[in-house]
Amino acid sequence: MPRALITGITGQDGMYLAEFLTAKGYEVFGLVRGQQNPKAPAVRRAVPPIRLVDGDLRDLPSLIAALEVAQPDEVYNLAAISFVGMSWNQAELTSEITGMGVLRILEAVRIHTQNDMSKVRFYQASSSEMFGKVHEVPQTETTTFHPRSPYGVAKTFGHYITVNYRESYGAHACSGILFNHESPRRGQEFVTRKVTRGAARIALGLQSELVLGNLDSRRDWGFAGDYVEAMWLMLQQDEPDDYVIATGETHSIRDLLGIAFNRVGIADWERHVRQDPNLFRPAEVDLLIGDATRARERLGWKPRGDFRSLIETMVDADLADSSREASASTRRTSDDGRHQRPDYDAGLRPHDAVPGPRHVDDD
């Protein structure tokens, strides 16, 4: 039975990858910072066979200890401070985890294997944010990096230190330069989930408006479940390399809003969306679109779904969650005896608007 260790197990990619590898017959270990991690129960529910091990990307000895427990054939480093907006406010923490954390896990693998790094195959989650102010369209594995955020800078360091260990120690180390990938498991702070959840809550009368920043940014969005398969395929190749993983299509935030609000029966989304200049990035990334030719030709990988279906699936999931929230709220007010059951067709009293993110994000 092959064994895999996944850092960032509590994120959407970590859970999809754990499910994928378990279905492939792997024994899967997930790295968590503290066994009382509040997200750990969700991971155990999603992937019951998983074994969680304690470790911290800021602490090299803990990573070596985790490797000794897991004894992995493959390591997938997905952990990062991946909320781009926060990276300006917490640049040092972002650099420590998203950048230096890659160095520490690679060094832990080197120590664990006693310098024979070919024994453990390693995947690094690189990011399209490394391209930043793009030098060519579409972006490929050879496109020059020009990151425009502390997050993008940290990811660029992680990418290059992975290349360095491959060239210095013979590591079977691959970087997946993943463009934006989403799912119903996406965190609520990310713009896609902010929009799909906002549309659902506005349709149910739970929210009055959606507050966002730049609506003209364009991104290449795919489904996270497809992208974790590409991670695995990279590590099955005889020779390690780096791969762009993308759909090759680009859409704006306005496109995203149109699809999401149409799904809940609202044709005029502009009435419900307010732009706040304070939510713009200090340095904007206007256009990202990837060319995944290398992945298609060498790995046989291609995305299965389309953008519209992805967003509609996310909206449907948020409608179901928000409907349960509305029903629970109704029961509470009814039990109170102070309020009558609200008429959802007429709309609930709107909650305060939930601020939107500063950015479009990816893992």
| Residues designated catalytic | 127, 129, 151
Cα-to-chain-centroid distance, residue 62? 24
CA distances from 294 to 76, 125, 142, 150, 323 (A): 20, 17, 11, 28, 43
Edge-to-edge strands, sheet with 273-275:
273-275, 210-212, 354-355
Whole-number Å distance between alpha carbons of 156 and 2: 30
Q: And the tokens for 112?
A: 């664990």
DSSP characters for 306-323? -HHHHHHHHHHHHHHHHH
**C-beta neighbour count of 156 within 10 angstroms:** 21
Q: Which residues of 293-309 are buried (b: 16+ CB within 10 A; e: fewer)?
A: ebbeeebebebeeebee
Whole-number Å distance between alpha carbons of 345 and 189: 28
